[in-house]
Amino acid sequence: MNKKKLFYIICAMSIALLGFISVQIYWTRQVFRLQEQIFKNTVNQAMDEVVFQINRRDIAERVLRYRQHTELIRRIDTLNTRMAALRQTYPYVAFEERSFSQSSQDNFVLSDPPPGADTLPARVTVQPSAAHIRHLQQTYRALEQERALLLLNSRLFDDLLRETLRHTPEQNLLGRLDPYEVDSLIARELNAKGLHTGFEWGIFSSDLSKLIVRRSRDYGVRLLQSPYFYPLFPNDPSPDAYFLIVDFPQQKVFIASRMWYLGLVTLLLFGLQAFAFAYTLNAVIRQHRFAVQKADFINHITHEIKTPVSTISLVCESFRDPDIHYGEAEIQNLLHIVQHESGRLQQLSRQMIEISTLEKGFYQLNRQECDLHDIIRQAINYSGFQIMLNRGRIQTDLQATRTLFFGDKERLISVFTNLIENANKYCERAPLIQIDSHDTPDGIEITVADNGIGIPKKQWHKIFEKLYRVPAGNAQKHYGFGLGLSFVKSITEQHKGKIWVESELKKGSIFHLRFPTVAKPFR
């Protein structure tokens, strides 16, 4: 796969991911808008009930006052009728007691008739007893007092009505409803509809163009911008005089809280899709890079194989040429060349087998009890001759006490041999290698430090990848296939250990290896 195709694949995957996210965001917004509409409809239902209750209470109070006034007028009319009947039957009951005198025949005679009494006979003679007459007079006086009280109440009703007409809109409104009852009614209806969120309300007068009543002192401008307007008192002569306004400061938060499950699923899908995209993209890039490195490796190793094969072929042809005669020393020299080139072929074959094993990601280990300090010493013996040829030296400070380990001894020797050979290879001066060990809470840590050319910090995590070589610096001057550190990392991790590097350009590198020392083999 070339870079152009890889670019197209990345673009296609990115467009697909963005498309999926865009569609998910679109439908999430649609669901949120639907929830907003449901919220609005629910608020309208609740507030319709609130307005209905307020209007019903206002009408009930008006009807009650009307009935009371009607009953008052009826009672006044009834008293007037009773008093008129008494006056018609007993005309003297309406006069003062001093207006009557008793004759010698035990009859009552009207004296000092009141104005208008000249139409009556000069003398009225009736037969009731004096006690009955007094009782009738007391009854009449009681009716007069009751009528006077009812007339006073009637005048109070009339005065109250006239006073109401002179009230300001604020006084008129507060006389028709109680703000505390309105607040309680709104809270009850909203809770009954499942809208358990904070709210603000106020009453707006269209005549005065201002809020007459509001729940909070500092909550006015936003309240006027609320979409929830409801007319009060529709039966009034001017039904649009007052409006009940409601607003919900936490409306979006409340709606989002009712959609938490959808938000959680959306975030999980986003995360899963982003992870799958990143993982796939990383895998494609890694495979592409590995394919390029593998192709370079094959080209490189093909060239490396060609050189010893050609050399061996030329030596064989020279032996077969009858015109060429070799002495004993020359023959030994040619045999040494053949042996050296044969060794190079064996090394190349081994590296090709290693890369095949690395692709599988697992080595078959032959575990046995061993001592890590002994392994380090054997690795130094195997590599010490090459260090001496470069006039270098190896120093050790092995202070760890828990060195018993169950692992593949030969593979572990190869791990330390590889690190020592790299320290020798990538050094522009006489190599100085320091190998230390010390105990850790869960095992042993070994460090291999050198004074080589160093590794750029951004390359630290890449040098352990298969077929990877540092692309810049003097590292490119040295022969290699990028297999050694990948092999070291694979063997270390299969022994339940870990490896990392610290390095500085021109000053050298320090490789840290940490192994858990245990008393029994790994399962």
21 and 154 fall within a common domain = yes
228 and 341 fall within a common domain = no
pLDDT at 485: 83
Out of 242, 257, 272, pick the residue that ends a domain.
257
pLDDT band per the 50, 70, 90 thresholds, residue 100: very low
On whether residue 268 sits in a domain, the answer given is: no
Can you list the pairs that 506-511 forms with residues at least 24 positions away whose Cβ atoms lie under 8 Å? 506/453, 506/454, 507/451, 507/454, 508/449, 508/450, 508/451, 508/452, 508/454, 509/423, 509/449, 509/450, 509/452, 509/454, 509/455, 510/447, 510/448, 510/449, 510/450, 511/419, 511/447, 511/448, 511/449
**Residue with more model confidence, 479 or 227:** 227
432 and 453 fall within a common domain = yes
pLDDT at 169: 53
Mean pLDDT over 85-106 rounds to: 56
143 and 180 fall within a common domain = no
Mean pLDDT over 227-251 rounds to: 80
493 and 382 fall within a common domain = yes
506 and 385 fall within a common domain = yes
pLDDT band per the 50, 70, 90 thresholds, residue 239: low
List the domain range (segments joined by +) for residue 233: 176-257
417 and 469 fall within a common domain = yes
- How far is CA 356 from each of CA 350, 394, 451, rounded to the nearest angstrom? 10, 33, 32
Q: How far apart are CA 521 and CA 346, in angstroms?
A: 33
Q: How far apart are CA 390 and CA 199, in angstroms?
A: 85
17 and 164 fall within a common domain = yes
Q: Is the pLDDT of residue 281 over 90?
A: no
Q: CA neighbours within 13 Å on the CB side: how many for 458?
A: 2
Coil, strand, or helix at residue 363?
A: coil
| Mean pLDDT, all residues of the chain | 77
Query: What one-letter code names the amino acid at 289?
Result: R
On whether residue 277 sits in a domain, the answer given is: no
* pLDDT tens per residue across span 301-324: 676 677 778 778 877 877 777 777
Q: Are 180 and 188 in contact (CB under 8 A)?
A: no
On whether residue 7 sits in a domain, the answer given is: no
pLDDT at 308: 76
Strand partners, 432: 393
Out of 133, 151, 170, pick the residue that ends a domain.
170
Name the phi and psi angles at 278, rounded to 5. Answer: -65, -40
pLDDT cut 70: percent of the chain above it: 77
Which tokens in the block code for residue 308? 């010893």
On whether residue 134 sits in a domain, the answer given is: yes
472 and 376 fall within a common domain = yes
pLDDT cut 90: percent of the chain above it: 10
Mean pLDDT over 461-473 rounds to: 69
Q: CA neighbours within 13 Å on the CB side: how many for 394?
A: 27
Out of 170, 201, 217, pick the residue that ends a domain.
170
132 and 209 fall within a common domain = no
On whether residue 427 sits in a domain, the answer given is: yes
Q: Are 47 and 228 in contact (CB under 8 A)?
A: yes
237 and 370 fall within a common domain = no
pLDDT at 253: 86
Question: How many domains, in total, are found in the chain?
Answer: 4
Strand order across the 242-247 sheet = 210-214, 200-205, 242-247, 228-231
Which tokens in the block code for residue 266? 């959306």
Q: Are 468 and 487 in contact (CB under 8 A)?
A: no
Q: How far apart are CA 355 and CA 348, in angstroms?
A: 11
CATH of the domain at 454: 3.30.565.10
225 and 300 fall within a common domain = no
DSSP label at residue 452 = S
Q: How far apart are CA 312 and CA 307, in angstroms?
A: 9
pLDDT at 278: 83
* pLDDT tens per residue across span 331-367: 787 787 777 778 767 766 766 666 566 555 556 778 8
On whether residue 265 sits in a domain, the answer given is: no
On whether residue 293 sits in a domain, the answer given is: yes
Which tokens in the block code for residue 47? 């507030």
pTM: 0.44
Coil, strand, or helix at residue 171?
A: helix
SS3 letters for 454-518? CCCHHHCCCCCCCCCCCCCCHHHHCCCCCCHHHHHHHHHHHCCCEEEEEEECCCEEEEEEEECCC
Least confident window among 109-113, 126-130, 330-334, 486-490: 109-113
On whether residue 52 sits in a domain, the answer given is: yes
Rg, C-alpha atoms of the chain: 56
